[in-house]
Structure formats: structure tokens, C-alpha cells
Structure 1
Amino acid sequence: MRIARYTTGDDPAYGIVQGDPGSEVITPLAGDPLYVGLQPSGQPPVMLEDVRLLAPVIPRSKVVAIGKNYADHAKEMGGEAPAEPMMFFKPNTAVIGPFDPVVLPAGSGEVSYEGELAVVIKTITKGVKAENATECIYGYTIANDVTARDWQRTDGQWARAKGFDTSCPLGPWVETELDPTDLSIVTTLDGDVKQDGTTADMIHGIAKIIEYASAAFTLLPGDVILTGTPAGVGLVEAGQQVTVEIGGIGSLTNTFVRR
């Protein structure tokens, strides 16, 4: 089931997306399904082409991201993959939606795309074991872990490099019925394929990541986990467009701009 967050020009709404590509229809829901469930609002359906899609979830507190979770990406970044998940945070103020512009930050000259599978948490989660981790998952969406590489090198930590405003595009919706173990991840830059990988190559699987993260801090409904990126990351300039496509979900497109 595909759950979208969207607007027709009024307040944001949630709905169930159904139908074949090019003729999708949204059935409006009565509020955020994370908190009120899948209750129809009684409003008439709307065509997907007539709405503006928003980030499908606004994290209640945080985006938890995993670094170097694909061996080929760790190698291209000049290091070995860590023995345990390497975690960092992106603030919820970094989140934007499909087709929203990524604003290249002033002072950085090396901004890179990173296409990733994202996990959305549905329950308050603390100290969960890997074998029970799927019970905590609401669904999956697509992310672009935009990174200022020069800041990443010079700062000694990644808060600024990966947390600046607009550095976390999410979308186009949350897919609640999906086997995430072997999904294609393809990232294009102005139509040219730059990343072509599969979630089967993750070093640390989703269940382990949730166990590891929830041992350290409580995950809240709507929190998002970025699961790492395959090889092929590269720099992007103002005016260029990045699309991340993941099998079983769809695609997420954003254009990069200078303020």
C-alpha cells in the first residue's frame, strides 16, 4: 500500500495511492495514518497528477543515517566498512519532498548525491531485538542523503556536512508492503546512470540496524532510518537534477539550486 502526503493548495493531507502509472488516484485519509490509522476522510478521490506530493513523513524527532553500509561505497570513499553500523543524525529540518529544490549551501563547493532506501518507524521503539524489528516498521521510502564533501573532510564530524537545510529529500510516498532484501537502487544525474546497486549488498541489514539504533536511543513514530548508499556517489552542480529510483517504490527527483 502506498501512503502519500500531498497538497492541492490547502493544508497537507494524507491518502492511499492506487492505480497504474499515469492514472493513479489518491483516496484521502482523515489525518496522519501513523496516529489515526487508515480512516477515509469522506472527501472525493483526487488524481495524483493534480496534487503536489510532499515529503511522505515529517520525522517527529530525527533521521538516523547509516554510513558506509555497502562495501563498494566504503572502498570508493577510501576506507573499509565498519564492523558495526556507523550512525549519524540528520535533523528533521533537512527533510524536503519530491521535486522540492535542494539548496546548495553557501560556503561548500563539493555537494554530492547518495541514493538510499529509507525505513519509516511506526511505534515507540527501544531495545528491540532484530528478530522483532519488522514489527516496528511502518514502511519504506526513497531518500537522497545529500552531503557537503568538503565540510565532511574538514569538520571532523558530519553534522553540518549532512544536516544542512534541504539535505534530506524523501519520497514519493511510503510503501507499507515491501520485501526490502533485494531492491534495485538506481541514481541518475541529468539522466545519466551514476549508481546501480541492490539492497542485497547491505553489510548490516535493516533488522540489525534497528536493533543497534534502538539500543542507544528511543525511536519514535515517524522517525526515519537511511540505510546507506551503494557505490557511484558524485558531485552535483546548480541546475542539475538527481533522480533516485528504487524497485517496488518508485522514484524521487530533485533539482539542485543556488540561493
Structure 2
Amino acid sequence: MKLVRVAGAGTGLVVDSAGSTYVVDLAGSASALDDGPAEAIKASFPGGSQSWLPMIGAWPSVRGALLTLLELVQDDLDRGRDRLGARPLAEVPLDPPLPDPASRIFAMGGNFPMHAGRMASRMELPESFVSGTADDTPPWGFYVIPGTVVGPGAIVTPPEGTAKLDYEAEVGVVLGGAEHPRGSDRVSLWGYTAWNDFSIRDDALGLSRIDHGPLTWSLVKNFRTGNSCGPWMVVDEAIDVTDLRIRCRVNDELRQDGTTADMGHSFGRIAAHISRFVPLGGGDMILSGTPGGTAMEDGPDGAFLRDGDEVEVAVDGVAPLRNTVKMG
């Protein structure tokens, strides 16, 4: 199943029919079901809330109701009927499919050896920069402020004066279930989506001072519109994220082509490390890190993003995530 956030209008269920993709309003269409499934869906949005956390917490009961609704809408569309107001996906403005406006998002750094190795060489960083090169090297990364995340089609506008803006194609996963067992690498996943971690490289190249000190706010990552994800969240389809292909194109030119199989630390190992210090649970997100092919890997003369560039991230099972860059 696939879920989207319709801009300003709640949660949508994605339905494929006859080679086309549609969206139906989840809460609004639930009334077409019998009382039991309808109530299960409506109870997922108490008081009109659009957070997905109640749905994730009650997933065993909600899942069957969503499957029933999906089959009903598909049957309608296949028969040329539309009783539930299905709209073509291409005509629906979308917000980022975060589980909650205050989602906790843990982003990995240096987690793909090819990317991290080239970055370390360019920046004269120690080998420990490359996460997962040894069993005793813990995962490292940064925290993403959810308010910096935009959806598909959004314009990415780095701070005025930014000269070196980079792209990082990634996979974002959402934990399911209740509290994650402390220190366990057995992770329960509820969903995944495509992610682009737009990154300012001016600081790393000595062009400006943005983050400084042994502890930073990661402002080179956490600027307005600095992250995008979507267009949808893949949920509960025997999710296997161990070998998802990740690609990034800039103006149709392939820049990155990797797979989660190349992650230095798996999502399970990342969750195990973080949960030793911070409780993790359903709705929390972990980002994979990015494969090789970023502009920064080629130093100051790399193919950094320019005004008007269209950046596309493609992840298996997810429609392409596209954003346009507007430099200040």
C-alpha cells in the first residue's frame, strides 16, 4: 500500500488502475466500508488529527481495513466507476509524507563506503569518517528538523549567497510497532520513502563559516527547504529495505546509482546504536545515508546545483521525487 499527504487536505490512499495512478481521501472514503473497517480507519485520526502515529500504533487492526478500501476503489476504477472521488495523482498537490509534523528524523553520515571514502579523501578526514568500516565503528550522523522538509514539486531555496549546493539521494524508513527494544538490531519497519538531503558545501570548502565547533546545529543540512521526501510512503508490503536501488538525476543526467545493500551500517544496526541512548518507537525515521556520486566528491569543481536545476530521486517502489532549485 501507498499513502500520501494531500496538501492541506489530509491523508490519501494511492490506487493503481489501468496503468494510471489515483488518490482517494482516506478518512472521507472510509464511510463506504462496513462499520468495523470504517471505524478502524476513522479511529486512526482522532479529533481530525492528521498525524499517522495513531495509525502506526494500531496497525494490526487498521491494515485490514485499508486493504478492504483499496480493493473497493480498485474494483470501482477498473469498472469505470468513481464513487469515492478518486483523483489522478498528477493533479494532486502533495506535502511530504512524514508520519507526524514533529517526526524524529535520524540521518546517517558516511554510511556508503564509496561516497564516504571519496569525501574523506577530498576533505582530508580520518578513516573513521567512513561509517561501518569496522565492527567497532559506531554509526554517526545528525538530526533533521522536520520543519525543513518539503514535498514533491517544491522549490528548494538555499540561503542567499550559497555557492555550492549538493544533492544526496537516500531512503527514509519509518519504524513500526511500539517502543524499539533497547540495543536490539531487530527492527520493525512500517514504511519507506525517497529522500533528498540537499546539502550546503560552502563551509566544507572554506567559502563561509556556517557550522563551527565540536558540536553543531548541522545548519548545512537543516535550512529551509533543505530536505525533501515523497511522493508517497510505501507501507506494509512485506517491506524489505536491504537492497533498494537509489538513483539521482539532475536535469535527466544520472549522478548517483546505488543500493541500500551497500550501507555500511544497516537500519537495524543504526537503530540498535541510537536506542542505547534514546528511546525509539513507531513513527521515528532513520535515513540511509547516500551512495557515491555527489558533487562534493569531485571537490570545488564538482557539478554542484545551479539555479533552475531539476533534481530527481528514484527509489524502488516509489514514484520519482522531483524538486527544482532556486538559488538566491
Q: Which amino acid aligns with 1:195?
A: Q
In 1, distance between residues paired with 2:160 and 2:247? 28
- 1:148 and 2:200 are equivalent in the alignment: yes
Structure possessing the higher radius of gyration over alpha carbons: 2
Mapping of residues 18-167 of structure 1, within 5 Å: 18-19=15-16, 23-30=20-27, 31=45, 32=50, 33-36=52-55, 37=62, 43-57=84-98, 58-78=100-120, 79=125, 80=127, 81-82=130-131, 83-123=137-177, 125-134=179-188, 137-152=189-204, 154=209, 155-156=211-212, 157=216, 159-167=218-226
SS in 1 for 2:279: coil
Is the alpha carbon distance of 1:76 and 1:59 closer, same or farther for their aligned partners in structure 2, counting shifts above 3 Å? farther
Question: Quick one: distance in 2 between partners of 1:141 and 1:229?
Answer: 14
More off after superposition, 66-75 vs 124-133: 124-133
TM-score under structure 1 normalisation? 0.88
User: What does residue 15 of structure 1 align with?
Assistant: 12
CA, structure 1 residues 129+220, in 2 after alignment: closer, same or farther (shift >3 Å)? closer
For residue 51 of structure 1, what is the amino acid of its counterpart? V
SS in 2 for 1:150: coil
Deviation at 1:162, TM superposition (A): 0.7
In 1, distance between residues paired with 2:327 and 2:19? 32
The answer on whether the counterparts of 2:246 and 2:313 sit within 8 Å (CA) in structure 1 is: yes
CA distance in 2, matches of 1:248, 1:240: 24
The number of residue pairs the alignment matches comes to 254
> Following TM superposition, by how much is the alpha carbon of 1:126 offset from its aligned partner in structure 2, in angstroms?
4.9
RMSD of aligned residue pairs (Cα, Å): 2.3
Bigger fraction of residues in strand: 1
Answer yes or no: is the 8 Å Cα contact 1:172–1:251 preserved in 2: yes
Contact 2:162 2:327 in 1 (8 A): no
Contact 1:129/1:211 (8 A) holds in 2: yes
Counting only pairs closer than 5 Å after superposition, residues 167-246 of structure 1 correspond to structure 2 as: 167-176=226-235, 177=237, 178-219=239-280, 221-234=282-295, 235-246=304-315
Q: Please tell me the residue identity of whatever aligns with 2:102.
A: R
TM-score normalized by the length of structure 2: 0.71
More helix by share: 2
- Superposed CA offset, 1:144-187 (max 9, x none): 11111123564234611111111110101111123111111110
1:252 aligns with 2:321: yes
Quote how far apart the aligned CAs of 1:196 are: 0.8
Unaligned regions of 5+ residues in structure 2, if any?
Answer: 28-44, 56-61, 70-82, 132-136, 296-303
CA pair 133-220 structure 1, distance change in 2 beyond 3 A:
closer
1:76 counterpart SS class? helix
Identity %: 33
